[in-house]
Amino acid sequence: MTIYADNAATTRMSQTAIRAMLPYMDQIYGNPSSLHSVGQAAMEALTEARTRVAAALGAASPREITFTSGGSEADNQAIRSVAVWGKRKGKTHIISTAFEHHAVLHTLKKLEKEGFTVTYLDVHENGLVTPEQVEAAITPETCLVTVMYANNEIGTIQPIRQIGAVCRKAGVLFHTDAVQAVGHIPVNVQEDNIDLLSLSAHKFHGPKGVGVLYAKKGVILSNLIEGGAQERGKRAGTENLPGIMGMTAALEEAIRELPETMPRLTQLRDRLIAGLCEIPHGAVNGDLEHRLPGNVSFCFEGIEGESLLLLLDDGGVCASSGSACTSGSLDPSHVLLAIGRPHEVAHGSLRLSLDRDTTAEDVETIIRVTRQVVEQLRAMSPVWRDLTDGKRAFVIE
Amino acid sequence: MALYSDKVMDHFRNPRNVGVIEDADGVGEVGNAKCGDIMKIYLKIRDDRIDDVKFETFGCGSAIASSSMATELIKGRPVSEALKLTNQAVTEALDGLPAHKLHCSVLAEEAIKAAMKDYYDRHGIAYDEHLFPAAHDCEHCGE
C-alpha cells in the first residue's frame, strides 16, 4: 500500500470537488460571455462561485476575486500589478523574504533587471520573519511587501496579520502567497490586513490549473494575459468553469473541516517529528510552533535526498526533498539554505506533508521505513564514514 | 516513463560491491559533499588484475547505480582494461541515464582512475600522465 505524504506538492481531489465539477462539463457547458441562455447559465454559476470564494476568504466583495490558472499566475500578476503602479508613482522598492516560492522570487529577479530594488529579509534559523524587520526595511520608495503566508518546504507560518498591520500603517501594499495556507489554517483577508493574496486549488483537494488572485478594492491590477473582457478585463481567456466550481467546493469543504483536521493533523505531525528525531544526526527544519499542521521537514546528515526518496518510494512512502538532484539544479533548496543549512546537509532533506487521509498507523510506517532507509544509505556513504570516524565534523549533533 | 531504466534501479536497489577494502592497493575519491555526490573506490590488485573492488557513494540514485556498474565492469579484468573504462561504457551498461545525470557516470570513471593512479603512486610504478587527466573541476563550487 502506498502512503502519500506529499500533499504540499499536490493533493488528491475530494469527492465533493469532483461532484461539483461534473455538471459544468456536459450540462452547464456554456461560455459565460455568451448572451444566450446556455451561456447565461454558466455566467450565473460563475457569479455564484465568485461570491462563495469571496465569503470563504473574508473578502469585502466578490469584485475582489479574480480567477487565474493557479498560484504561480496569481503571484506573477499580483507583483507585476503593484510594480506597474509603483513605477508610475516613482516607488521602485519591494520587500520580500529569502525563501519565497520561485513564482515570487523569479518575478522579483526580473523586476530587479527592470530597475527595481528588492530587499530580501532574513528568515532566521527558525524560518520566520518579524513585523519589526518589515517595518525597518520600509522606505518612502517602497511600493510592495510580499511575504508568503506559510512556507512550502518547512511549513513555517509567518506573522501575516502583524506584517499586514505594519504595511497598512506605512501605506505600503501587502501581498501574500497563501498557496500553502488557504484550506490548511484559518485565513481571512480583511482580518489579516492583506491587500493581495494568491491561492491554488490543488493544494486543498481541488482541481489543478485553477487559482485565485484576491485584490482589495482600490488595488489596480495589470493584465498578464490580454485578449478579452473576462474577469473585469483583468484576465483574458474563457473561464475554467468546471475548475472554478470544483475549487469553490473544495475550499468551502476544507475550511468547514478545519476545526477537525487541524488538531488531528497537528497531533500526527508532532508524533512523526518525535519519531524521526530518534534518528541520530537528523534535525527538524523550521519553527515547531508556528508551523502548518501537516508539515514535517528534516535534514539527515551523510545521505542525499534523491536516493532517500527513491528508497522511501520502494517502501511505499511518497515524499519530497530539497536536494539538488530533486530540485533540477545544482543547488539544494534555497529555503534550506536561507535558514542556514549548509549545502551538504541540505542535500539530505526530506519533506513529508500529511493530509486528512493520513492515519496514525501511516505515521508509524513512515517512521519505520525512514529509519531503515536512512541507515541503509548511511551504510554505503563515505561522508557518513568520515563523520563517524571523526574525519569530518557533524553539523547536526 | 520512469525517471531511470530498470538496470539503473536494479543497481541502485541492490548495489554490487558496496563496502571497504581495509588493505586496499589503491583508493580514489572524487566529487564533494557540497555538490551532493562523493564516490570512493577501493582496489585490490594482483597479477596485474583487479582482484577485488569496493565502493562507497554519497549521492543520488544514478550516482549509486553508476558506482555499482563501474565496479562490475572492472572486477576481475586486467588493469590495462580497467584503465580504459569510460563513462559512456558505464552509461550504456546501465541502459542509459537521463541527460542531467550523465555527470554521475563521469564521476564513476574518474573515481576508478583516481584509485588506479593512487595504486601506481603508492607502488612507485611509472605511468603515462596522459592516462589520468585532472578530474573535471566542479563548475558549481570551483572545487
Q: Mind listing the pLDDT tens digit for each residue in A316-372?
A: 999 999 877 766 666 889 999 999 999 999 999 999 999 999 999 999 999 999 999
Interface confidence, given as ipTM, is: 0.93
A81 Cβ contact partners less than 8 Å away, ≥ 6 residues apart = A196, A215, A219, A220, A221, A222
pLDDT at A281 over 50: yes
Q: Are B15 and A382 an interchain contact pair (Cβ–Cβ within 8 Å)?
A: no
The three-state (H, E, C) secondary structure of chain A, written as one string = CCEECECCCCCCCCHHHHHHHCHHHHCCCCCCCCCCHHHHHHHHHHHHHHHHHHHHHCCCCHHHEEEECCHHHHHHHHHHHHHHHHHHHCCCEEEEECCCCHHHHHHHHHHHHCCCEEEEECCCCCCCCCHHHHHHHCCCCEEEEECCCECCCCCEECCHHHHHHHHHHHCCEEEEECCCCECCECCCCCCCCCCEEEEEHHHHCCCCCCEEEEECCCCCCCCCCCCCCCHHHCCCCCCCHHHHHHHHHHHHHHHHHHHHHHHHHHHHHHHHHHHHHCCCCEEECCCCCCECCCEEEEEECCCCHHHHHHHHHHCCEECECCCHHHHCCCCCCHHHHHCCCCHHHHCCEEEEECCCCCCHHHHHHHHHHHHHHHHHHHHCCHHHHHHHCCCCCCCCC
pLDDT at A287 over 70: yes
With residue B55 as reference, give the H or E element that holds it.
strand B49-58
For chain B, give every domain's residue range: 6-122
Q: Are B18 and A380 an interchain contact pair (Cβ–Cβ within 8 Å)?
A: yes
Q: Are B36 and A325 an interchain contact pair (Cβ–Cβ within 8 Å)?
A: yes
User: Cβ atoms within 10 A of the Cβ of A186, count?
Assistant: 13
Closest partner residue to A304 (CB to CB) among B9, B18, B59 is: B59
The fold adopted by the segment(s) B6-122 is Sufe protein. Chain: A (3.90.1010)
Residue to mutate among A307, A336, A373, with most B CBs inside 10 A, is: A307
pLDDT: is A137 or B141 the higher one?
A137
Residues of B whose CB is below 8 A from A380: 15, 18-19, 55-57, 64
Report pLDDT for B135: 61
Show the cell assigned to B106. Answer: 563521469
Highest-confidence range of B30-44, B53-67, B115-129, by mean pLDDT?
B53-67
**Does residue B60 have an active-site annotation?**
no
- Rounded to the nearest angstrom, the minimum Cα separation between B77 and chain A is 24
pLDDT at B139 over 60: no
- Rounded to the nearest angstrom, the minimum Cα separation between A229 and chain B is 40
Report pLDDT for A328: 63
Q: Which domains does chain A have, with CATH numbers?
A: 3-8+258-388 (3.90.1150.10), 15-254 (3.40.640.10)
Residues of B whose CB is below 8 A from A385: 20, 56
pLDDT at A188 over 50: yes
Chain mean pLDDT for chain A: 96
* Of the candidates A89, A105, A183, the residue with the CA atom closest to the CA atom of residue A142: A89
Q: Select which of B35, B60, B138, B141 is catalytic.
A: B35
Report pLDDT digits (tens) over A30-70.
Answer: 999 999 999 999 999 999 999 999 999 999 999 999 999 99
- When pLDDT is averaged across residues A89-97 and rounded to a whole number, the result is 98
Q: What angle do CA A136, A213, A181 make, to 5 degrees?
A: 65
- pLDDT above 90 as % of chain B: 80
What pTM was computed for the model? 0.94
Q: Please give the torsion angle defined by the CA atoms of residues B43, B44, B49 and B54, in that order, rounded to the nearest 10 degrees.
A: -50
Report pLDDT digits (tens) over B47-96.
Answer: 999 999 999 999 999 999 999 999 999 999 999 999 999 999 999 999 99
pLDDT at B143 over 50: no
Report pLDDT digits (tens) over A218-242.
Answer: 999 999 999 999 999 999 999 999 9
Report pLDDT for A326: 67
Q: Predicted confidence band at A382 (pLDDT cuts at 50, 70, 90)?
A: very high
- Rounded to the nearest angstrom, the minimum Cα separation between A221 and chain B is 39
Residues of A whose CB is below 8 A from B12: 307, 310
- When pLDDT is averaged across residues A168-187 and rounded to a whole number, the result is 98
Largest CA distance in chain A: 77
- pLDDT above 90 as % of chain A: 97
- When pLDDT is averaged across residues A286-301 and rounded to a whole number, the result is 98
Report pLDDT for A61: 98
Report pLDDT for A322: 83
Residues of B whose CB is below 8 A from A312: none
pLDDT at A210 over 90: yes
